[in-house]
Amino acid sequence: MPVKTRVMPTLLFSNVGLVKGVKFDSWRRTGSALQAIKVYNMREVDELVFLDIRATPDMRAPDFAQVDELADECFMPMTVGGGVKNTDHIGGLLGVGADKVAINTAAFERPKLIEEGARQFGAQCIVISIDALRHEDGKLEVMTHCGTRRTGKDPVEWAKEAEAAGAGEILLTSVDRDGTFTGYDVALTRAVSDAVRIPVIASGGCGKYEHMAEVLRDGKAAAVAAASIFHFTEQTPREAKLHLKAQGFNVRV
């Protein structure tokens, strides 16, 4: 019996509080992080993703005090990212209550960081966050700096390299599906999931529960993350799991 399939709400944090955008742009405020965490705690969600999306573009370190305050109320697993550049940042976030640390731009710019993190803290807590953009011709490209910078790199290649360097999990976000409610990029997820042995969390584009079923079944994702669907609609992680369970998925309800 394999591990349960996780449904993970994503909280995006900007300087002002929680936000959500469309295609990594047009950010809207969605409320207080602490309130959101308390609600998800009560509802016993599987795991939270908390990303400080302004840290890297603003060239600042993770806000440890902020994460500390939130983690003190978070009695569920929490993956924290944004602005992580070195092993001190990783250790600092784990120390204040993160269970795993997501690294995006810094890992791409210096893949050695993945190996250093895995050696010191174990591969299981190093999550590599990959933002992938599908161009109009269908070609895929890794984007860094919160989706603003092109790299010319294929996400499947980068995922394989990250795994070889010691990554424990991949958070794979489709930039062009993000916030559109049109469904995950199933082909992208499938290509990455087939190329690695570590778990792949599909993210970006979820508009209804059936999108989760699609990317789990056809995209071979190990878990699904979603933000807009939980922020802007009446849909909930618990109902998502009931929907998935009815379809035969192995979820925790």
Partner 1 sequence: MRSSVTIINSGVCNLDSIRRAVEECGGRPVVTDDARELEQADRIILPGVGSFGAAMKAMNEKGLAAGLRHLLAKRSLPFLGICLGMQLMATKSLEFGDTEGLNLIPGDIVPLNSNDAEDRIPHIGWNTALPTRESPLFRGIDDGRDFYFVHSYRYAPVDHADVLAETPSYGKFAAAVQHGHLMGVQFHPEKSQRAGFQLLRNFLAI
- Cα(89)–Cα(56) distance, integer angstroms: 13
In sequence order, what DSSP letters do the residues of 115-156 get, joined into one string? Answer: HHHHHHH-GGGEEEEEEEEE-TTS-EEEEETTTTEE----HH
**Closer CB to partner 1, 146 or 223, in the complex:** 223
Give the strand pairing for 17-22 and 6-14.
Answer: antiparallel
Which position among 32, 35, 124, 233 is part of the footprint of partner 1 (CB under 8 A)? Answer: 124
| Residue 5 engages partner 1 in binding (rule: CB under 8 A) | yes
Q: Which C-beta is closer to partner 1: that of 22 or that of 195?
A: 195
CB atoms within 10 A of CB 42: 8
115 and 126 Cβ atoms separated by less than 8 Å: no
**C-beta closer to partner 1: residue 115 or 141:** 115
Rounded Cα gap, residues 180 and 29, in angstroms: 16
Secondary structure letter of residue 191 according to DSSP: H
Q: Looking at 74-82, 143-151, 206-214, 225-233, which segment touches partner 1 (CB under 8 A)? A: 74-82
Q: How far is the CB of 198 from partner 1 (least distance, A)?
A: 6
98 counts as binding partner 1 under rule CB under 8 A: yes
Question: Smallest gap, in angstroms, from Cβ of residue 217 to partner 1?
Answer: 12
Return d(Cα 98, Cα 171) in angstroms, integer. Answer: 16
Residue 57, classed as helix, strand or coil, is coil
Q: Does 198 bind partner 1 (CB under 8 A)?
A: yes
Site string for partner 1, 136-175 (x = CB under 8 A): --------------------------------xx------
Using CB under 8 A as the criterion, what x/- string covers residues 77-96 for binding partner 1? x-------------x--xxx
Task: For residue 76, state whether it binds partner 1 (rule: CB under 8 A).
Answer: yes
User: Please, what is the minimum distance in Å from the beta carbon of residue 46 to partner 1?
Assistant: 6
**In the chain, which ranges are E strands?**
6-14, 17-22, 25-31, 48-52, 78-81, 100-103, 126-134, 140-144, 149-150, 169-174, 200-203, 223-226
By CB under 8 A, name the one of 29, 35, 75, 239 that touches partner 1. 75
Question: What are the residues binding partner 1 (CB under 8 A)?
Answer: 1-6, 44, 46-47, 68, 71-72, 75-77, 91, 94-100, 118-125, 168-169, 197-199, 222-223, 252
